[in-house]
Amino acid sequence: MLLDRSVLLTLGGLCSTHAFAIPPRKGTALSKIGTQEHLFPFLGGAAPYFSYPGSYGIPIGPPSHCELQQIQLLARHGERYPTKSSGKKLMKTWNKLKEYPHSFNGSLSFINDDYEFFVRENENLEMETSLKNSVNALNPYSGEMDAKRHAQQFLALYEGFLEGNREFAVFASSSERVHDTAEFFIESLGDKFQVSLQVVSEDPSAGANTLSAGYACPAWDPDAYTEIIGNYSTKYLTDIAERLNNENRGLNLTESDANNLFSWCAYELNAQGYSDMCDVFTMEELIHYSYNDDLSSYYQDGPGYSMIQAVGANYFNASLKLLKESDRLDQKVWLSFTHDTDILNYLTTVGLFDDGHKLNATYVPFRNHVFHKSWIIPQGARVYTQKFQCDNESYVRYVVNDAVIPLESCSEGPGFSCKAENFYKYAGERLAGQNFLEACNTSSVSNNTELTFFWDWKSAHYNASLLNE
């Protein structure tokens, strides 16, 4: 087996301190690390981070004759273990497989080879994957590494701008994995920065003063569009279950077991760096899974659910206010960390991934399809808003997962940006009539009617208790 130099170096380091830490069988497994990245876009946003696959090729640094005025980031936490509820479902399927009394044939035969389920401790559920809790010490996809790498890319890209902006607050919602991501990111920035981490409550009682408007939205109904979503054919799941059951007489996998195997594959990648379970699927099945996931996100948290534009307005209003006040505010760098659905809600209000075609449940659209959920909010997703000045004129644009995504109706500026004046007009139109508090019935859970933490963190000191959710 050929290992690349970085793996050998890491192995060398590990071997000196833990001479017997790596069981010999893992040798074969190690060679699989890095070979499954082509599957990441098909795993519904649960796979490790990957850059936006549909990049238009626009350089993501500020255009050469322009000077940055403000940077905002809204990022998802990094790679993680399954949530408690998805862990429960996975355990059910794993118990079925564990109790199968015969050797496995076909794509499940890796289980014969002393396979150990990747969630080794229940307390890992909901948590960010780290060097410490990863199944495999060489896991290149841990949330910890992702956040630290992201911070290094951030430093490299904005080097000059950060020179004069070394003191700022970073905001994290109060989920433990979100908080941990922010901490890893800050740690990686290094000691030249004075960063104050503000942990903003994501309890419903936070109301509008939150990075997670979804939790303060009792009116949100996950089943509002079940009828449309439910029309998507799940034949791909039946096919998988049947294939595995035919290969293994007496195995009784159901459609929902087959569905669980996809998140098994994704989360095992987060925790271990590779997953034999990913090899169970054909590419066609992965495409179906991925589109099925697009469909449900589109109608639960995206442009397909009319209420979402109001939910995302809570953060977009604040972002817009920061942009307008950029000259006046001392802080020029606004970094925030939260959950996937919150970012999706916000981007829905911005209208960045809505081409006006409603997603349909009768076929997979290939040509007219911009709403790829996994491309937008993979683990570690990062949405930057850049405001820069070129020849006395200000411009705004978005960079999503390492790709500039121009606004379709406003991209005449340098680097396909939008003139600030026109951007404010555009944003005003997207926000017109969008009332988060009313649409969500937030007053039934909180009296907070405004997002203020960006402006009052120095006096309010946000230090919410961390939640395991």
Ligand X SMILES: Cc1ncc(C[n+]2csc(CCOP(=O)(O)OP(=O)(O)O)c2C)c(N)n1
Candidates 30-38, 99-107, 215-223, 259-267 — which segment interacts with ligand X by CB under 6 A? 215-223
Shortest gap between Cβ of 380 and ligand X (angstroms)? Answer: 10
3-state helix, strand, coil in the chain (%, to 5): 45, 15, 40
CA 312/CA 235 separation, integer angstroms: 34
- Residue 311 or 333 having the CB closest to ligand X: 311
Residue 341 interacting with ligand X (CB under 6 A): yes
Q: In whole angstroms, what is the distance from residue 167 CA to residue 171 CA?
A: 13
Using rule CB under 6 A, residue 293 touches ligand X: no
* 217 is a site residue for ligand X (CB under 6 A): yes
Question: Which residue numbers are catalytic?
Answer: 77, 340
> Within 18-142, where are the H helices?
26-30, 84-98
User: CA-based angle 302:261:146, to the nearest 5?
Assistant: 65
Identify which range of 246-254, 337-345, 382-390, 412-420 contacts ligand X by CB under 6 A. Answer: 337-345
14, 90, 302, 324, 466 from 169: Cα distances, Å: 36, 38, 29, 19, 18
Closest contact distance (angstroms) between CB of 85 and ligand X is 9
Which H or E run contains 319?
A: helix 308-324
Residue 426 contacts residue 378 (beta carbons within 8 Å):
no
Q: How many residues bind ligand X (CB under 6 A)?
A: 14
317 vs 93: CA distance, rounded Å = 43
CB of 400 to ligand X, least distance (A): 15
- Residue 380 contacts residue 77 (beta carbons within 8 Å): yes
Are the beta carbons of 462 and 197 closer than 8 angstroms?
no
Residue type at 389 in one-letter notation: Q
The CA distance from 138 to 33, in Å, is 9
- Yes or no: say if 458 and 171 are a contact pair by the CB < 8 Å rule: no
By beta-carbon proximity to ligand X, the closer residue of 201 and 345 is: 345
Q: Which stretch binds ligand X (CB under 6 A): 90-98, 187-195, 277-285, 340-348?
A: 340-348
Does residue 340 touch ligand X according to CB under 6 A? yes
> Closest approach of Cβ 217 to ligand X, in Å?
4
Least Å from the CB of residue 44 to ligand X: 10
311 lines the binding site for ligand X (CB under 6 A): yes
Can you state the angle between helices 420-431 and 340-350, rounded to 10 degrees?
A: 110
Position among 10, 55, 83, 152 found at the interface with ligand X (CB under 6 A): 83
CB closer to ligand X, 276 vs 340? 340
Interface with ligand X, residue 76, by CB under 6 A: yes
User: Whose Cβ is closer to ligand X: residue 90's or residue 138's?
Assistant: 90
208 binds ligand X (CB under 6 A): no
Beta partners for 198? 171
Closer to ligand X by CB, 244 or 377: give it: 377
Query: Does 345 interact with ligand X (rule: CB under 6 A)?
Result: yes
Does 301 sit near ligand X (CB under 6 A)?
Answer: yes
Dist. CA 143–CA 147, nearest whole Å: 6
Cβ proximity to ligand X: between 73 and 111 the closer is: 73
CB of 83 to ligand X, least distance (A): 5
CB of 221 to ligand X, least distance (A): 9
- CB of 255 or CB of 469, closer to ligand X: 469
220 touches ligand X by CB under 6 A: yes
User: Other CB atoms closer than 10 Å to residue 103's CB: what's the count?
Assistant: 10
316 makes contact with ligand X (CB under 6 A): no
Q: Which stretch binds ligand X (CB under 6 A): 49-57, 140-148, 246-254, 333-341?
A: 333-341
Q: Are 158 and 120 in contact (CB under 8 A)?
A: no
**Measured distance CA(437)–CA(439) in Å, rounded:** 6
Distance from chain centroid for Cα 162: 25
By CB under 6 A, name the binding residues for ligand X. Answer: 76-77, 83, 212, 214-215, 217, 220, 301, 311, 339-341, 345
